[in-house]
Protein backbone atom coordinates (compact mmCIF):
# COMPACT_ATOMS: atom_id res chain seq x y z
CA UNK A 1 0.00 0.00 0.00
CA UNK A 2 2.79 2.33 0.94
CA UNK A 3 4.52 1.47 -2.31
CA UNK A 4 1.45 2.34 -4.40
CA UNK A 5 1.19 5.72 -2.71
CA UNK A 6 4.83 6.40 -3.31
CA UNK A 7 4.43 5.39 -6.92
CA UNK A 8 1.36 7.58 -7.30
CA UNK A 9 3.01 10.63 -5.82
CA UNK A 10 6.08 10.05 -7.96
CA UNK A 11 3.82 9.74 -10.95
CA UNK A 12 1.96 12.97 -10.15
CA UNK A 13 5.28 14.69 -9.63
CA UNK A 14 6.39 13.43 -13.02
CA UNK A 15 3.23 14.76 -14.64
CA UNK A 16 3.52 18.17 -12.99
CA UNK A 17 7.18 18.38 -13.90
CA UNK A 18 6.32 17.61 -17.46
CA UNK A 19 3.47 20.08 -17.64
CA UNK A 20 5.62 22.71 -16.02
CA UNK A 21 8.49 22.33 -18.41
CA UNK A 22 6.32 22.53 -21.53
CA UNK A 23 4.79 25.69 -20.12
CA UNK A 24 8.18 27.31 -19.69
CA UNK A 25 9.16 26.59 -23.29
CA UNK A 26 5.92 28.20 -24.39
CA UNK A 27 6.54 31.36 -22.43
CA UNK A 28 10.19 31.72 -23.39
CA UNK A 29 9.49 31.52 -27.12
CA UNK A 30 7.06 34.24 -28.09
CA UNK A 31 3.85 33.08 -29.79
CA UNK A 32 4.83 34.74 -33.08
CA UNK A 33 8.22 33.08 -33.06
CA UNK A 34 6.60 29.71 -32.50
CA UNK A 35 4.10 30.17 -35.33
CA UNK A 36 6.62 31.78 -37.65
CA UNK A 37 10.24 30.70 -37.80
CA UNK A 38 12.85 33.47 -38.13
CA UNK A 39 12.87 32.90 -41.85
CA UNK A 40 10.38 30.84 -43.80
CA UNK A 41 11.58 28.37 -46.39
CA UNK A 42 10.34 30.57 -49.24
CA UNK A 43 12.03 33.67 -47.85
CA UNK A 44 15.27 31.77 -47.37
CA UNK A 45 15.16 30.51 -50.96
CA UNK A 46 14.55 34.05 -52.21
CA UNK A 47 17.46 35.40 -50.18
CA UNK A 48 19.72 32.70 -51.61
CA UNK A 49 18.60 33.29 -55.19
CA UNK A 50 19.07 36.28 -57.49
CA UNK A 51 15.57 37.71 -56.87
CA UNK A 52 16.97 40.49 -54.70
CA UNK A 53 18.65 42.03 -57.72
CA UNK A 54 15.28 42.89 -59.21
CA UNK A 55 12.81 42.66 -56.32
CA UNK A 56 12.47 44.28 -52.95
CA UNK A 57 9.81 43.56 -50.35
CA UNK A 58 8.48 47.10 -50.25
CA UNK A 59 9.84 48.98 -53.26
CA UNK A 60 9.73 48.42 -56.96
CA UNK A 61 13.23 47.99 -58.41
CA UNK A 62 13.21 46.33 -61.83
CA UNK A 63 10.40 44.00 -60.91
CA UNK A 64 7.36 44.75 -58.74
CA UNK A 65 7.72 44.72 -54.93
CA UNK A 66 6.57 41.58 -53.14
CA UNK A 67 3.92 43.61 -51.37
CA UNK A 68 2.53 44.76 -54.74
CA UNK A 69 2.48 41.18 -55.97
CA UNK A 70 0.77 40.04 -52.76
CA UNK A 71 -1.82 42.81 -53.13
CA UNK A 72 -2.56 41.75 -56.71
CA UNK A 73 -2.96 38.01 -56.18
CA UNK A 74 -4.96 36.43 -53.34
CA UNK A 75 -2.99 33.62 -51.68
CA UNK A 76 -4.49 30.39 -53.03
CA UNK A 77 -3.16 27.24 -54.70
CA UNK A 78 -4.02 28.49 -58.18
CA UNK A 79 -2.05 31.73 -57.84
CA UNK A 80 0.85 30.02 -56.10
CA UNK A 81 1.09 27.58 -59.03
CA UNK A 82 0.74 30.44 -61.54
CA UNK A 83 3.47 32.53 -59.95
CA UNK A 84 5.71 29.49 -59.39
CA UNK A 85 5.47 28.86 -63.14
CA UNK A 86 6.43 32.49 -63.86
CA UNK A 87 9.41 32.27 -61.50
CA UNK A 88 10.69 29.19 -63.33
CA UNK A 89 9.80 30.16 -66.90
CA UNK A 90 10.05 33.93 -66.58
CA UNK A 91 7.25 36.34 -67.30
CA UNK A 92 6.42 39.55 -69.03
CA UNK A 93 3.63 41.99 -69.77
CA UNK A 94 1.85 41.86 -66.41
CA UNK A 95 3.67 44.71 -64.64
CA UNK A 96 5.25 46.53 -67.53
CA UNK A 97 7.47 45.94 -70.50
CA UNK A 98 10.52 44.63 -68.65
CA UNK A 99 10.48 40.82 -68.58
CA UNK A 100 11.55 38.61 -65.69
CA UNK A 101 14.36 36.23 -66.53
CA UNK A 102 13.60 32.50 -66.27
CA UNK A 103 15.00 30.48 -63.34
CA UNK A 104 15.25 27.01 -64.78
CA UNK A 105 17.39 25.65 -61.93
CA UNK A 106 14.68 26.34 -59.38
CA UNK A 107 12.44 23.31 -58.76
CA UNK A 108 8.67 23.57 -58.76
CA UNK A 109 8.54 22.98 -55.00
CA UNK A 110 11.07 25.75 -54.37
CA UNK A 111 9.24 28.16 -56.66
CA UNK A 112 5.97 27.35 -54.91
CA UNK A 113 7.56 28.01 -51.51
CA UNK A 114 8.80 31.36 -52.81
CA UNK A 115 5.41 32.26 -54.32
CA UNK A 116 3.54 31.32 -51.16
CA UNK A 117 5.96 33.39 -49.07
CA UNK A 118 5.43 36.41 -51.36
CA UNK A 119 1.65 36.05 -51.24
CA UNK A 120 1.75 35.62 -47.45
CA UNK A 121 3.06 39.20 -47.19
CA UNK A 122 -0.37 40.62 -48.03
CA UNK A 123 -1.39 43.13 -45.40
C1 LIG B 1 16.22 40.28 -64.01
C2 LIG B 1 15.37 40.81 -62.98
C3 LIG B 1 14.52 39.83 -62.19
C4 LIG B 1 14.95 38.78 -61.41
C5 LIG B 1 16.36 38.29 -61.18
C6 LIG B 1 13.75 38.24 -60.79
N7 LIG B 1 12.64 38.91 -61.21
FE8 LIG B 1 10.71 38.54 -60.68
N9 LIG B 1 10.09 39.94 -61.97
C10 LIG B 1 10.89 40.79 -62.71
C11 LIG B 1 10.08 41.64 -63.57
C12 LIG B 1 10.57 42.71 -64.52
C13 LIG B 1 8.72 41.25 -63.32
C14 LIG B 1 7.46 41.77 -64.00
C15 LIG B 1 7.16 40.89 -65.20
C16 LIG B 1 5.86 41.24 -65.85
O17 LIG B 1 5.56 42.40 -66.06
O18 LIG B 1 5.11 40.29 -66.20
C19 LIG B 1 8.77 40.20 -62.30
C20 LIG B 1 7.66 39.58 -61.78
C21 LIG B 1 7.67 38.67 -60.74
C22 LIG B 1 6.50 38.09 -60.14
C23 LIG B 1 5.06 38.39 -60.52
C24 LIG B 1 4.70 37.68 -61.81
C25 LIG B 1 3.36 38.07 -62.36
O26 LIG B 1 3.03 37.55 -63.44
O27 LIG B 1 2.64 38.86 -61.74
C28 LIG B 1 6.95 37.23 -59.16
C29 LIG B 1 6.11 36.37 -58.24
C30 LIG B 1 8.39 37.29 -59.17
N31 LIG B 1 8.81 38.15 -60.14
C32 LIG B 1 9.21 36.55 -58.33
C33 LIG B 1 10.59 36.46 -58.47
C34 LIG B 1 11.43 35.56 -57.73
C35 LIG B 1 10.94 34.64 -56.62
C36 LIG B 1 12.69 35.71 -58.18
C37 LIG B 1 13.96 34.96 -57.75
C38 LIG B 1 13.94 33.54 -58.01
C39 LIG B 1 12.66 36.73 -59.20
N40 LIG B 1 11.37 37.15 -59.37
C41 LIG B 1 13.75 37.17 -59.90
C42 LIG B 1 12.26 40.83 -62.68
C43 LIG B 1 13.07 39.90 -62.05
Give the tens place of pLDDT for each residue, 101-122.
999 999 999 999 999 999 999 9
Rounded to two decimals, what is the model's pTM?
Answer: 0.77
- Judgement on whether residues 110 and 93 belong to the same structural domain of the protein: yes
Q: Quote the CA–CA distance of 106 and 26 in Å, as a whole number.
A: 36
Residue 83 shares a structural domain with residue 44: yes
One domain for residues 61 and 85: yes
Q: Are residues 112 and 96 in the same domain?
A: yes
User: Cα-atom radius of gyration of the chain, to the nearest Å?
Assistant: 23
Residues with Cβ within 6 A of ligand 1? 46, 49-51, 53-55, 62-64, 69, 83, 86-87, 91-96, 98-101, 103, 106, 114-115, 118
18 and 69 housed in the same domain? no
Kindly state whether residues 84 and 27 are assigned to the same domain: no
* Number of separate domains in the chain: 2
Range of the domain at 73: 38-123
CA 42 to chain centroid: 5
pLDDT, tens digit (0-9, with 9 covering 90-100), for 1-58: 555 555 544 444 444 444 444 444 444 555 554 556 688 899 999 999 999 999 999 9
41 closest CA partner among 119, 120, 110, 123: 110
Amino acid sequence: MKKTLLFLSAFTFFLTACGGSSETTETTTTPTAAAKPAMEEGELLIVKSDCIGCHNKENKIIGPSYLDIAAKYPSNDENIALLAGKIIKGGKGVWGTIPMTPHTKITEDEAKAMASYILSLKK
